[in-house]
Amino acid sequence: MYHDLPRPASFWSFLLAVDEDLAEETRKQGCPCGGHLHSANYLRKPRGTPIQLPEPQRLRLSFCCDRDGCRKRATPPSVRFLGRKVYLAAIVILVSAMRQGPNSRRVSELSRRFGADETTIARWQTFWREHFPQTPFWKVARAGFITLGEIVDLPYLLVDAFLGRHPPSEGWMLLLRFLSPITVPGGLQIKVSQ
């Protein structure tokens, strides 16, 4: 069973390093208007983390176009933040997965342990059950996990697929990286290229 997040500080700083790589790719592409992208990071206040994260790890990396008249924001994918959700992506995934699977946990227990209230956890369940399966991202990616028409529990299926085959830190890293295309604003519409 999967019931905890990696605790070593090195894991959480590694996630930041991955986000920095993803950000660099976005920066290099520049703005669609032809302008250059400048740093415009903003501080998030993630809750429920297993360790106290230092400030740089709470920054959502982001950019702004430098051209007058455009100034459009460009936010790269992230392995730490899932859209506008306050909790770190790993927590949103883990708590939701713990509601499912062979040893599912009660909401009250998860709420106590991770500090997310029951309404929040219910909203995450709705996200995974109703919104995520409808995304173009998942419609393409699901072929690698399930056969057509198969009913599955998300995100348990994904947690099981990645953590069942890899040591925890590596499994989490691969899973978060896999899901990163859906973390940008409007990212639920994003199509994967391969």
CB 184 within 8 A of CB 193: no
Which of residues 30 and 83 has its CB atom nearest to Zn ion in the complex?
A: 30
Kindly state whether residue 66 participates in binding Zn ion, applying the rule CB under 5 A: no
Residue 17 burial (10 A CB sphere; 0-12, 13-18, 19+): exposed
Residue closer to Zn ion (CB basis): 35 or 48: 35
Q: Using CB under 5 A, which residues numbered 72 to 111 contact Zn ion? A: 72
Per-residue binding letters, 4-43, with Zn ion (x by CB under 5 A): ---------------------------x-x-x--------
Taking alpha carbons only, the member of 146, 160, 154 closest to residue 182 is 154
Pick 66 or 109: Cβ nearer Zn ion: 66
Q: Compute the least distance from the CB of residue 175 to Zn ion, in Å.
A: 33
Number of chain residues interacting with Zn ion (CB under 5 A): 7
Please, is 98 exposed, middle or buried when counting C-beta atoms within 10 Å of its C-beta (0-12, 13-18, 19+)? buried
Residue closer to Zn ion (CB basis): 72 or 105: 72
Kindly indicate which of the ranges 8-16, 41-49, 61-69, 169-177 contains the residues binding Zn ion, using the contact rule CB under 5 A.
61-69
Shortest spacing between CB 34 and Zn ion, in angstroms: 7
Distance CA 53, CA 50 (A): 9
**How many Å apart are CA 190 and CA 149, to the nearest integer?**
23
The least CB distance from residue 186 to Zn ion, in Å, is 17
Cβ at position 111, least distance to Zn ion in Å: 43
Q: Which stretches within the chain are classed as H helix? A: 9-29, 89-98, 107-114, 118-126, 136-141, 156-163, 168-179
Applying CB under 5 A, the span of 17-25, 68-76, 114-122, 166-174 interacting with Zn ion comes to: 68-76
Whole-number Å distance between alpha carbons of 120 and 86: 10
Helix axes 89-98, 107-114, angle to 10 degrees: 150
Candidate list 1, 17, 70, 122; residue touching Zn ion; CB under 5 A: 70
Q: For tokens 């978060």, name the residue.
A: 176
Give the footprint of Zn ion on this chain (CB under 5 A).
31, 33, 35, 65, 67, 70, 72
